[in-house]
Structure 1
Amino acid sequence: MDKIFRAKSTLEQWRILQSVVDYGGYAKAAEKLNKSQSSLNHAVAKLQTQLGIQLLEIKGRKAFLTNAGETMLRRARQILQDVEALESLADTLNKGWEPEITCSVELIYPKEILYQILKQFLPQSRGSRIKIIDAVISGSEEAINEKTVDLAITNIVPKGHLANTLCSVKMIPVTSINNTEISSDEISQDQLANSLQIVISDTGKAKRSQGWLKAEQRWTVANFHEALSILATDIGFCWIPESIAKPYLTRKEIRKIKIKHYDERHIPLHLVIPDRDNVGPATLLLEKLFYQYHQLEC
């Protein structure tokens, strides 16, 4: 049978030692902790005896860490922080604050906006973890209907759910700057249909197609990074969010395709809380930050 570990020291002893060091002596630490100076002396002396090493040495009226004390207190600080965070989490859970928020985010939603909103959320998150699921077409719709996520950014709002529109994403058709198979002049939709189209895979079980998919020859990939990698080989074209395409257009690695009467499309993106009756305060805070960023009053 394994021997049961029994701690020689207590968290309170380490907290007292930390205070004595941080405040430069027993007198100031006693004042801050609202304890007697003698009780602090006794606690530190007992801690040193229990551990069998000297942690502090007194020089004049100030207490200084020994080399061993410095090493031990450095580890103790982390433990004290972890315990504080653990107890804070217990308090948070008791109040109904979610330990984790799962978000389904349509792949075309601008990542730079998403990261700015999450950055604002972090200081107020109370330790809630964030799980981001990239969704395409029916993927977010299914997540909403099945209530497998707490919050969804989607271009499809399922029946029975209310949504607020956050923004509209401009999609543009692009190809490699060196692709000679697709004319740099204005072309018709029928002409473009003869070219290879790179499309992003629907993440839902329905595997529906959406938007302009007239081309008979299609290659399906998981994300826009893969699509751009294929375009870099000077074949095919793809509809890509303008925000993603912009740096590639600036570097002249890709070019926008000029289509007669139709060279861009706009896709609205909405925010949906799938289970509004049981939504937690952390998810509501995150929702509020999305609305604030997009200057919506909801």
Structure 2
Amino acid sequence: MYRPKTTLEQWRILQAVVDHGGYAHAAEKLNKSQSSLNHAVAKLQSQLGVQLLEVRGRKAYLTEAGEVMLRRSRHLTQNVQDLESLAANIQQHWEPEITLAVDLAFPRSLLYPSLQQFLPECRGSRLKIIDTVITGTEEAITQGWADLVISHHVPKGHLGEVIAQVNFLLVCHPEHPLSQTSGPIDPNELSQHLQLVIADTSQSPDEKQGWLKSEARWTVSQFHTAVDLLLQGIGFCWLPEHVVQPHLADGLLKQLDLDGSSFRRLVSYLVKPRPDNIGPGSQLLYDLILSNRQVIRQDDNTATTGNNP
């Protein structure tokens, strides 16, 4: 097994000498004698067989080799600091990893402000954001494999906070036969055409949500794949308004008027699958998402940001 010749303390002293412009100031900052710092750096250079500093007048300057070694040493000492900080966080039950499951239909732009605020406070915790769909999202709650879940359905026995509402529109290509229909489309006519659906991420999908009466169905894993197919004139699909709005505005897609359902509205909930066993990092992220949530007021149908329902 390899045994290091040098110590972290030696590298820390070298960094201090450089950062504070010499041995005298570094000794003051580290609360050590100047002679001990001189001895530590001299021994470091001797052990490496490389000159790191050269003294000119009363100041010490890095050699070319010293600049390279110093830069690499900063990574070393920072990694040790991060490792010890992680150990302290684990000791305090701060999670080393947080899993956030997000239903694919939830607008990611609503999540980004919370993530930006979470980053400087996360204490080095790794964050896993996993896309889920329908039953797969529910399983993240019922099976408890995620720390937090953004879902459009709260399973029995769980609670969720409303954080947004998402409209789904029925769309197809402007030249698709369904686009040529005048007036609301009869659902029976709709069932005669190819429907694009988004794959359920569950291992045991339960097709119980959405309009799925078409005998001909193509299944894709992402909304953007469905949009690409629609732009080629293939099929029709229910898609989130925020996903298709740019294409509707450009006239590349057309919203269909279905008799009995011009659009579908889903409520987005933030759920703690295990509320009695949530870690401090997950709780912080939960609070940040709530503070940035968007809620639709039923009286004027406008979005508001904040905690007022």
The reply to whether TM is greater than 0.5 is yes
* 1:63 match: 60
Please provide the CA RMSD for this pair. Answer: 1.7
Which sections of structure 1, spanning at least 5 residues, go unmatched?
none
Q: CA deviation at 1:261?
A: 4.5
* 2:192 match: 194
* 2:296 match: none
Q: Is the 8 A contact 1:201 1:207 kept in 2?
A: no
Structure 1: how far apart are the matches of 2:181 and 2:173?
10
What is the percentage of aligned positions where both structures have the same residue? Answer: 51
Residue 10 (structure 1) aligned to one of 7, 10, 23: 7
Q: CA deviation at 1:216?
A: 3.1
Give the aligned residue type for 1:230. Answer: L
Q: Is the 8 A contact 2:179 2:254 kept in 1?
A: no
Q: CA deviation at 1:181?
A: 4.4
In terms of mean alpha carbon deviation, does 80-89 or 246-255 score higher?
Answer: 246-255
Structure 1: how far apart are the matches of 2:164 and 2:210?
18
Structure 1: how far apart are the matches of 2:182 and 2:116?
43
Q: CA deviation at 1:217?
A: 2.4
2:141 matched to 1:130?
no
* 1:220 match: 219
Residue 40 (structure 1) aligned to one of 17, 34, 37: 37
Q: CA deviation at 1:53?
A: 1.5
> Taking structure 1 as the reference length, what is the TM-score of the superposition?
0.94
2:158 matched to 1:161?
yes
Which runs of structure 2 are paired with 1:272-283 in the superposition (5 Å)?
Answer: 272-283=271-282
Q: CA deviation at 1:152?
A: 0.8
2:307 matched to 1:296?
yes
Residue 75 (structure 1) aligned to one of 55, 72, 85: 72
In terms of mean alpha carbon deviation, does 179-188 or 167-176 score higher?
Answer: 179-188
2:239 matched to 1:240?
yes
Structure 1: how far apart are the matches of 2:291 and 2:14?
45
Structure-2 change in CA distance of 1:50 and 1:297 (3 Å): farther
Structure-2 change in CA distance of 1:297 and 1:31 (3 Å): farther
Aligned residue pair count: 295
In terms of mean alpha carbon deviation, does 282-291 or 212-221 score higher?
Answer: 212-221
Structure-2 change in CA distance of 1:188 and 1:252 (3 Å): closer
Q: Is the 8 A contact 1:169 1:268 kept in 2?
A: yes
